[in-house]
Chain A
Amino acid sequence: MDLIWQIFLNGIFLGGLYALMALGLALVWGVLNIVNLAHGAFIMLGAYACYYLYTGGHIDPFLALPLAMLIIFALGYLIQRFVLNLIVRSAMFTTLLITFGIDVVLTYMAQIIFTADFKTINPPYAGSNFQLFGATVPYVQMFTFVVALAVTVGLSVFLRRARLGRAIRATAQNLTAARLYGVNPRTLYAITFALGAALAGGAGGLYGMVSQINPYIGAPLTAKSFAIAIIGGLDNPLGVIVGGLFLGLVESFTALYIGPTYTSVASFGILVLVLIIRPTGILGRTA
Chain B
Amino acid sequence: MRKALPWILPPLVVVILAALPWFASPTIIQFGISTLILATLSQSWNIIGGYTGYASFGNSVFYGLGIYGTAVAMVQFGLPFWVGMLVGGLLSVVFAVLLGLPVLRLRGHYFAIATLALAQVMSAIVSNVQVAGGNQGLVLPLFRGDKMFYELALGLLVLATLTVFWLSRSRFGFGLISIREDEDAAAVMGVNTTYYKVIAFALSGVFTALAGGIHAYWITFVEPESAFDITLNVKMIIMAVFGGPGSVFGPIVGAFVLQSVSEILATKISSLAGLFFGLVIVVAVVFMPKGLIDLRKRIGRLGWRYFTRNVKENRL
Give the interface of A toward B (CB within 8 A).
29, 35, 83, 85-94, 96-98, 100-105, 107-109, 112, 185-186, 189, 219, 223, 226-227, 230, 259, 261-262, 264-265, 268-269, 271-272, 275-276, 279
In the complex, chain A residues whose CB is within 8 Å of the CB of B271:
112
Bound CA–CA A103/B128 (angstroms): 30
Identify the stretch in B84-92, B112-120, B160-168 within 8 Å (CB) of chain A at 4 or more residues: B112-120
The 0/1 profile, CB within 8 Å of A marked 1, for residues 55-81 of chain B is: 100000000000000000000000000
Indicate if the CB atoms of A93 and B237 lie closer than 8 Å. yes
Bound CA–CA A102/B316 (angstroms): 19
In the complex, chain B residues whose CB is within 8 Å of the CB of A105:
275, 278-279, 282
Give the interface of B toward A (CB within 8 A).
49, 55, 102-103, 105-106, 108-110, 112-114, 116-118, 120-121, 123-125, 127-128, 135, 230, 234, 237-238, 241, 271-272, 274-275, 277-282, 285-286, 289, 311, 313-316
Q: A94-B285, A223-B120, A276-B102 are in contact. Are A86 and B125 (CB under 8 A)?
A: no
From the candidates B113, B234, B316, name the one contacting A85 in the complex (CB within 8 A): B316
A40 CB → nearest B CB, Å? 12
In the complex, chain A residues whose CB is within 8 Å of the CB of B124:
261-262, 264-265, 268
In the complex, chain B residues whose CB is within 8 Å of the CB of A85:
315-316
A261 CB → nearest B CB, Å? 6
20 contacts between A and B (CB under 8 A): A86-B286, A87-B286, A88-B316, A96-B237, A97-B241, A97-B281, A97-B285, A104-B274, A112-B271, A186-B316, A219-B230, A226-B116, A226-B117, A230-B113, A261-B135, A264-B120, A265-B128, A269-B121, A272-B117, A276-B103
Indicate if the CB atoms of B278 and A98 lie closer than 8 Å. no
| Identity of the chain A residue whose Cβ is nearest the Cβ of B107 in the assembled complex | A279
Bound CA–CA A219/B105 (angstroms): 26
Indicate if the CB atoms of A35 and B109 lie closer than 8 Å. yes
Indicate if the CB atoms of B285 and A271 lie closer than 8 Å. no
B315 CB → nearest A CB, Å? 5
Indicate if the CB atoms of B285 and A98 lie closer than 8 Å. yes
Bound CA–CA A91/B237 (angstroms): 13
Report which residue of A93, A102, A108, A275 has the largest number of chain B beta carbons within 10 angstroms of its beta carbon.
A93
Indicate if the CB atoms of B274 and A108 lie closer than 8 Å. yes
Q: Majority SS of interface residues in chain B?
A: helix
Bound CA–CA A262/B275 (angstroms): 33
Indicate if the CB atoms of B281 and A226 lie closer than 8 Å. no
In the complex, chain A residues whose CB is within 8 Å of the CB of B55:
92-93, 96
The 4 closest A-B pairs by CB, nearest first: A104-B278, A101-B281, A105-B278, A90-B314
Report which residue of A83, A85, A86, A112 has the largest number of chain B beta carbons within 10 angstroms of its beta carbon.
A86
Indicate if the CB atoms of B116 and A112 lie closer than 8 Å. no
In the complex, chain B residues whose CB is within 8 Å of the CB of A226:
113, 116-117
Q: A85-B316, A101-B281, A261-B128 are in contact. Are A109 and B113 (CB under 8 A)?
A: no
| Identity of the chain A residue whose Cβ is nearest the Cβ of B281 in the assembled complex | A101
Indicate if the CB atoms of B116 and A275 lie closer than 8 Å. no
Bound CA–CA A101/B282 (angstroms): 5
A226 CB → nearest B CB, Å? 5
Bound CA–CA A275/B277 (angstroms): 32
In the complex, chain A residues whose CB is within 8 Å of the CB of B277:
104
In the complex, chain B residues whose CB is within 8 Å of the CB of A268:
117-118, 120-121, 124
Q: A89-B313, A268-B117, A272-B117 are in contact. Are A262 and B128 (CB under 8 A)?
A: yes
In the complex, chain B residues whose CB is within 8 Å of the CB of A265:
121, 124-125, 128
Report which residue of B49, B230, B315 has the largest number of chain A beta carbons within 10 angstroms of its beta carbon.
B315
Q: A91-B289, A93-B112, A276-B105 are in contact. Are A109 and B117 (CB under 8 A)?
A: no
In the complex, chain B residues whose CB is within 8 Å of the CB of A101:
278-282, 285
B233 CB → nearest A CB, Å? 10
In the complex, chain B residues whose CB is within 8 Å of the CB of A279:
106, 110
From the candidates A83, A90, A96, name the one contacting B289 in the complex (CB within 8 A): A90
Indicate if the CB atoms of B112 and A35 lie closer than 8 Å. yes
In the complex, chain A residues whose CB is within 8 Å of the CB of B272:
108
Indicate if the CB atoms of A83 and B286 lie closer than 8 Å. yes
Bound CA–CA A73/B313 (angstroms): 28
From the candidates B105, B116, B282, name the one contacting A223 in the complex (CB within 8 A): B116
In the complex, chain B residues whose CB is within 8 Å of the CB of A103:
278
In the complex, chain B residues whose CB is within 8 Å of the CB of A109:
275
In the complex, chain B residues whose CB is within 8 Å of the CB of A91:
289
Indicate if the CB atoms of B315 and A35 lie closer than 8 Å. no
Indicate if the CB atoms of A89 and B314 lie closer than 8 Å. yes
In the complex, chain B residues whose CB is within 8 Å of the CB of A275:
103, 106, 110, 113-114, 117
In the complex, chain A residues whose CB is within 8 Å of the CB of B102:
276
In the complex, chain B residues whose CB is within 8 Å of the CB of A185:
316
Bound CA–CA A97/B286 (angstroms): 10
Q: A105-B275, A265-B121 are in contact. Are A86 and B315 (CB under 8 A)?
A: yes
Indicate if the CB atoms of A98 and B282 lie closer than 8 Å. yes
B161 CB → nearest A CB, Å? 21
| Identity of the chain A residue whose Cβ is nearest the Cβ of B314 in the assembled complex | A90
Bound CA–CA A278/B278 (angstroms): 35
Bound CA–CA A201/B176 (angstroms): 41
| Identity of the chain A residue whose Cβ is nearest the Cβ of B105 in the assembled complex | A276
Indicate if the CB atoms of B234 and A100 lie closer than 8 Å. yes
B211 CB → nearest A CB, Å? 21
Indicate if the CB atoms of A261 and B120 lie closer than 8 Å. no
Indicate if the CB atoms of B314 and A88 lie closer than 8 Å. yes
A75 CB → nearest B CB, Å? 15
A255 CB → nearest B CB, Å? 13
A87 CB → nearest B CB, Å? 5
